[in-house]
Structure 1
């Protein structure tokens, strides 16, 4: 069963075209729009009745964005370049990777009824483009400055479709913690080497790690995996916007990351009072594994909690949950951020500490001397409960089920991934297959 049919079968979604709000012909005459199989699988017309991403800014830390592209014009802010001597990042004419990510998130199409070109999953979101310095000089990943800039300039979701095996610098770790403290959701691609070796920033605490799924419902063979994976999204033969070429087609976790960022923007738009972790909670609680199994209690190393289902995330009655949701928090992000909602006992731990903090000096002294037996017993029970139920340390301790599909599949050509180990900043691209005469 194809990915599209799987989502519809298990999600109760009717077939729909990818046109926005207005009545239009049943099929688009535009081959680019017709080729957006992933968007069609999400049933965008139903999604957009719930949310279009309005009033949410998504930062795209990447290669810069062509804000003049016909499918993006008006949705791209000036942003900032940390390369090429600085300046803005919204007028990129060379590298098309950042433009592609921006279009998958907030493309609005063009023409009558917006029926032509690329439509993003959150077409009313704003893109804050930030061009990363790709030089190997200094920090290898080199995203701490861009990350802080994004946080300070209003981004509520930050898309990082790049990955590398390099250990994070202290500045980068600090920047992630800064974003977490400011309640910004960080979304990053797992990488395209088909390995369980962690790539960063996706594997860092505080980041929502994303893998890629193919149209047949199986995880891509080149999609990196591991206990840090939380969600997967479409990442095979994805059409998007470009710079040197008007449109492009690519495969990899870059594209799946953009779709998750867009879904997060939709949720943040409809539920502005939810924390970043609670937004992630909605996405994971409504995700589904491609074989139709629901209700998995812990993330699978390949599928995480499953494929995003934006309509369900927007429409179902999902309890807000704990502040951090399914995210593992950086050690220094906040005092009570040891783990997310799936770590038992976090709220109980907070309650116990509240009781201890509220005791009077006389009561504390009584406990120390053994004079107040009943109170001492209560405190002992609470402390014991805290020890039994304390959350796992950041970066480990989360159980997961058996591996999903794609294990042992040799990596294929890695289209569309912004940074690859051994060749940072470079990626091969494949132009879209165009009908004769076009």
Structure 2
């Protein structure tokens, strides 16, 4: 058998392996260390990489598509929007007749939505839109007290809008807005509207709650639902809406950019994606564009459509490349029969996982893998200990327990010409000298009288430095 002294190196190695696995597991659960805060506009556009917009731009940038922004107005002179904003209209005395001004001195809301959709980019210090080659058609409603959402929707539909962005909302019911939505749907426009923010809305507002409108909720950087997003059965899709940067007029920010949270931002993201789809598939009508967006979404929450995530998180590349049969009708209209997506056809399909899944979403899986690794390593260590013990037993000479000793000069069978050694538990015949100890002269215990290692100064409890109170 092997003594404790010989087992100690093996046990120390096992402990080191287990410690390494445990440390690795803790690192996986804790996630990577935070990086230096981004100091460029492009660096703050985290959602572009999450949605894989750079890859989408290899397929299309939205050329030939017009997106109407029904909002307060659009500051067309912003460097990131120069050449992107068409002459539009104004329903407010605070905005010029072409709609290319933004009276919102607190948020620059309409300008920001336009930049998220179609900012032209041009380097790390400029806003890159989801569809930078699409054009913005401003429909200025002015300040909220002047809003005429129904009139804005009708005007946009009559003036060639392929997509109508509605990052606005009102509570209650309004037959005029409902009729305007039906009118625009009949004109072939894709209507995308904000599902609402909890600080303002208790339920999905108009026009997002009207059948046929794609109501958009917001997700955070982890991919989970943003805490301020309103939920309800009307929600169709979710998209990034946390810490979204966008261009704003000079009165709002001296550097020309603002960062906010909300379903308004998520709505602008989806409007830009709808523009990409319409540009990539110009033969599709509005119903097919909506069907493609909802049927290629990455499912989250409950299976199917649910009040938090709708049909799921928008998947840009899937919406652009998957094979989806034509829809019989807009799947968001009551009584419509949604068309499921076909299997990916290889070249055009994209089955890779989204990058937006955060660490908090798969931490239980990582924890399970770490525990499994610890158990496997522990099992290997136990097997090694058992094997080494058995090998040691085979190497130690074994004398018969009973019977007289062999005649002088005779060796034990199978053990070579080694002189016979008395079994330690067999009585020694009278007159025979005691056999030497099989492991040589016994000296003092290697770990001292107490049977445990001595601790050099500073390594034990008395000499240990105080614990660092700072959390890591």
TM-score bracket, shorter-length normalisation: 0.5 to 0.7
Aligned to 2:281: 271
Task: Tell me if 1:236 matches 2:245.
Answer: no
Secondary structure of the structure 1 residue equivalent to 2:205: coil
Aligned partners of 1:65, 1:136: CA distance in 2, in Å? 18
1:186 to 2:196 alignment: no
Q: Is the 8 A contact 1:193 1:223 kept in 2?
A: yes
Q: For the residues of structure 1 that align with 2:118 and 2:337, how far apart are their CA atoms?
A: 29
Cα displacement (A) at 1:270: 1.0
Does the 8 Å CA contact 2:326/2:339 hold for their aligned counterparts? no
How far 1:327 moved relative to its partner?
1.3
> Which of 109, 114, 129 matches 1:97?
109
8 A contact 1:53–1:125 mirrored in 2: yes
CA contact (8 A) 2:134 2:275 kept: yes
User: What is the rounded CA distance, in whole Å, between the counterparts of 1:71 and 1:273 in structure 2?
Assistant: 30
- Greater shift after overlay, 228-237 or 126-135? 126-135
How many equivalent pairs are there? 299
1:82 has 2:94 as partner: no
2:323 is the counterpart of 1:314: no
Contact 1:277-1:340 within 8 A present in 2 as well = no
Deviation at 1:285, TM superposition (A): 1.4
Q: Is the deviation greater in 309-318 or in 58-67?
A: 309-318
Higher RCO, 1 vs 2 (CA within 8 Å, ≥6 residues apart): 1
CA distance in 2, matches of 1:134, 1:145: 15
Matched, 1:70 2:76: no
**Residue 176 of structure 2 is aligned to residue 171 of structure 1:** yes
Q: Distance in 2 between matches of 1:135 and 1:271?
A: 36
Query: Contact conserved, 1:134 with 1:142, CA < 8 A, in 2?
Result: no
Distance in 2 between residues matched to 1:68 and 1:243, nearest whole Å: 9
State how far apart, in whole Å, the 2-side matches of 1:116 and 1:340 are.
Answer: 45
Corresponding residue for 1:253?
A: 263
**1:221 positional shift:** 1.5
Give the Cα separation in 1 of the matches to 2:227 and 2:219. Answer: 9
1:164 positional shift: 2.2
Q: Which runs of 5+ in 2 are unaligned?
A: 1-37, 341-359, 362-472
- Kept in 2, the 8 Å contact 1:196–1:226? The answer is no
| TM-score (norm. length: structure 1) | 0.64
Shift of 1:197: 2.2
Is 2:50 the partner of 1:45?
Answer: no
Distance in 1 of aligned mates of 2:144 and 2:245: 28
SS at 1:219's partner residue? coil
Per-residue CA deviations over 1:401-428 (Å, capped at 9, x if unaligned) read xxxx99xxxxxxxxxxxxxxxxxxxxxx
Instruction: Report the Cα distance in structure 1 between the residues aligned to 2:263 and 2:120, rounded to whole angstroms.
Output: 22
In 1, the alpha carbon distance for the partners of 2:125 and 2:326 equals: 37
- Post-superposition Cα deviations, 1:60-116, rounded to whole Å, max 9, x if no partner, equal 001111111111111101111100166111133644100100000000123xxx333
Partners of 2:313 and 2:65 in 1: how far apart?
22
For the aligned residue pairs, the C-alpha RMSD in angstroms reads 2.5
Q: Name which of structure 1's ranges 125-134 and 226-235 shifts more when overlaid on structure 2.
A: 125-134
Secondary structure at 1:267 match in 2: helix
The equivalent of 1:286 in structure 2 is 296
C-alpha displacement at 1:340, in angstroms? 4.5
Q: d(CA) in 2 for partners of 1:131 and 1:109?
A: 24
Aligned residue in 1 for 2:390: none
| Aligned pairs for 1:345-356 within 5 A | none
**How big is each residue's C-alpha offset from its partner over 1:208-255, in whole Å with a ceiling of 9 and x where there is no partner?**
100000001211121111111110000000111110220000000000
Superposition deviation, residue 133 in structure 1: 4.4
Distance of aligned partners of 1:219 and 1:45 in 2 relative to their CA distance in 1, 3 Å threshold: same
